[in-house]
Chain A
């Protein structure tokens, strides 16, 4: 328990949790006040998922990775558990809104985008460092949201974030990204070149 508390603090989990749930709560309030419809618009759902995933990036690296690596601990299962816990938090918060007056749904889309984007972010953290890991998910998702390509299969793969939840190529893309991110981050950890908070 003590290890968990210290780990959570070193990874700035309270901040991440506050920002992601706070952001979701703000958007939930915004929709409840401004719209009569119960189902939140799909662009807003995608933006909410994106915002929450971006908040999680803070936790993907600690203040001193080199020191962390020297610890005689089996890191891979812990890193995997970290990502899965982040996904669980995201999904619990967003799917809980399905019971309220402003529903962030459909569930299939939320699960696909949260898993895929988290995987893509983890992949980025393993490749270019946690601090820059949100670049690609953010740019890709904004583009896919504004200009979805629903007609051809390659378009569905390229803009998987904004496809309808039943779309198979989009779901497959998200699954590949999620698994690749999980494996890459669990095995290698955050890239050594730069952590979220480089030492002074």
Chain B
């Protein structure tokens, strides 16, 4: 059997299909590395989204392979051989399955060098997500084999690919208000990234695996059975059973969260030493880049009375709504990852932290004046306010005026005014005139 399998791997469409899948998958990944540069979980989820192309290609590969027997006109010869048809089908099924799984894994392997230096957190759910992806390709290839045998025409393979992508795009349409149903039947759905802490629920992955396994079994049974309507109906039983079981497993209603957050990925990991600087576990690889910048900003703020003593990553997510508490002694910093896996916009970390003297404006937006926030930040950094693209010109001009005024004052008086702004900000009071009152 091993020898036949080896021959089949060499002689069938398996190797070509694997190569095509690998090239398409790697090209899609490297066309937009910023979509998966933050973590391993993002990588495997992105690869699942790219099944929109890989899945139809696997279908077509199966159908293409099924044409071989028809092309060489040997069906009658094989039918007259006193051997069960399954014995002849298993090596073909095995070769195609091995090829598509190897290609899927190889696409991940191609992305490993890009992430290996920066990404650390590897949850078990990532393996489930990747496993479901590989299984979906096996199901597609086997289903393609079966359809290719039932409809032996040169147009079957391209037609099946078109039908496959059409199916993937149409599944969400009737289920617009039942996203959990779309999640079960479409292996590429729900993989969009809204935060770096995103994950896929275990029960969803389990339901998808059940459905795809049922689909794969159906393909294999269809391939091994004789072309009679009773056999075809029998082959459809696994699909029906699999669909029913998958729908029973998948969470629905209030239990279903479209883009769940992994609390472990979101939990904070802190740098050694003080003051305390923490980032989420999924960004732990960036801690060495964030810490010096955050400590530099905390040192600037330390001149104020009652200063902030720690900096934490802002792990706010909106769907579902999770947010860390706002505290006077802790500054929340947003950490985002660039296309190379490193900290995005490192030059903005310090200005953002000293902005408004370290007060988080989300606590009380009402009384805040942007020019004051910009001016105190610039004074603490000891440099002229830099124009932020998008800010109105009059805000910039006013901030520059306020900053110039602060610079003209003696150091202790200016510090007292900045401290007053921070106090008023934390207490949610009006900060409007605090910088411009008459000198004592």
Contact = CB atoms under 8 A, between A and B. Distances in A.
A197 B70 CA distance: 10
Nearest to A134: B158
A169 B59 CA distance: 32
A54 B159 contact: yes
Interface string A85-116: 00000000000000000000000000000000
Interface string A1-34: 0000000000000011001000100000000001
Nearest to B173: A34
B53 A142 contact: yes
B57 A139 contact: yes
A138 B158 CA distance: 7
Contacts of A134: 157-158
Binding site secondary structure of chain B: helix
B20 interface: yes
Interface string B40-57: 000000000000110011
Contacts of A198: 71
Contacts of B73: 200
A15 B155 CA distance: 9
Interface centre among A34, A57, A142, A147 (most CB of B within 10 A): A142
B155 A19 contact: yes
Nearest to B67: A131
A23 B159 contact: yes
Interface in A135-167: 135, 138-139, 142-143, 145-147
Contacts of B393: none
Contact of B153 (A15, A138, A146): A15
Contact of A51 (B53, B60, B71, B162): B162
A19 B159 contact: yes
B166 A131 contact: no
Contacts of A55: 155, 159
A34 B20 CA distance: 34
B165 interface: yes
Nearest to B56: A142
Given A19-B153, A139-B24, A197-B71, A54 B165 contact: no
Interface string A38-78: 00000110010011001101100000000000000000000
A196 interface: yes
Contacts of A139: 20, 24, 53, 57
Interface centre among B24, B56, B154, B173 (most CB of A within 10 A): B154
Interface string B148-162: 000001110111011
B165 A47 contact: yes
A54 B153 contact: no
Contacts of B344: none
Nearest to B31: A147
Nearest to B161: A138
A143 B24 contact: yes
A200 B72 contact: yes
Contact of B169 (A16, A23, A43, A196): A43
A27 B66 CA distance: 25
A196 B153 CA distance: 10
Nearest to A35: B173
Given A47-B162, A142-B161, A200-B73, A58 B52 contact: no
B155 A146 contact: no
A143 B53 contact: yes
Contacts of B158: 50-51, 54, 57, 134, 138
Interface string B128-166: 000000000000000000000000011101110110011
A55 B155 CA distance: 6
B155 A54 contact: yes
A135 B33 CA distance: 26
Contacts of B52: 146
A54 B73 CA distance: 23
Contact of A138 (B60, B71, B169): B60
Interface in A147-200: 147, 196-198, 200
Given A23-B159, A198-B71, A200-B72, A142 B154 contact: no
A147 B165 CA distance: 13
Interface in B4-63: 20, 24, 28, 31, 52-53, 56-57, 60
6 contacts: A47-B165, A50-B158, A54-B162, A57-B158, A139-B53, A197-B71
Given A15-B155, A44-B166, A143-B53, 19 more contacts: A23-B159, A34-B173, A47-B166, A50-B158, A51-B159, A54-B155, A54-B158, A57-B158, A134-B157, A138-B158, A138-B161, A139-B20, A139-B24, A142-B165, A143-B28, A146-B53, A146-B165, A197-B154, A200-B73
Interface of A: 15-16, 19, 23, 34, 43-44, 47, 50-51, 54-55, 57-58, 131, 134-135, 138-139, 142-143, 145-147, 196-198, 200
Shortest 7 CB-CB distances between A and B: which pairs?
A: A54-B158, A134-B158, A51-B162, A58-B154, A200-B73, A19-B155, A55-B155
